[in-house]
Amino acid sequence: MKRAAALGFGVFQTPPEETAEAVATALRTGYRLVDTAAAYMNEGAVGEAVRGSGLDRSDVFIETKVWISDFGYDETLHAFDKSSRKLGVDYIDLFILHHALPSDFDRTVDAYRALERLLAEGRVRAIGVSNFMPSHLRALGNARRSCRPSTRSRSTPTSSRRTSSGRTRPKGP
């Protein structure tokens, strides 16, 4: 499996009409990881930029995320189909649950099980979670069947916070 680049280009809050050019510029500059999400409503523009870049698909690591409205086993499988169609790809490198759904955590677990299926079928190369609290990770860990989920956090010079132990960690939404 190809490794994710250490530095990626994210398109959170990038308007769809600006996304294709922004991603194309990032790819020309040397970025090889593009981070999008169904909730950003710009997956189609990301796919357009990747296809138009002249790069082999295997040279670009694409990460996207499932929004909570698409949690549940069948719903998440359908979300993969929608995302891969919008991106115009046969596989997604990293497919992530965007947030936990604490009010109906069984749907979160079912969504993760759908990710496991997609991984087993080779439709995704890696799976994981984003913006999960430690309690959510423990609950998911108790219910999962596969390997430890990848966790994703964003860290910028202005987005860190102190933990109860005094260490700095990324500030999540």
Determine the Cα–Cα distance for residues 69 and 76; give it in Å rounded to an integer. Answer: 9
| 112 classed as catalytic | no
Q: Which of 40, 73, 91, 112 is catalytic?
A: 40
Determine the Cα–Cα distance for residues 139 and 105; give it in Å rounded to an integer. Answer: 9
97 touches 64 (CB < 8 A): no
The region that residue 154 occupies, defined by phi over 0 for left and psi between -120 and 50 for alpha, beta otherwise, is: beta
- Indicate which residues carry an active-site annotation: 40
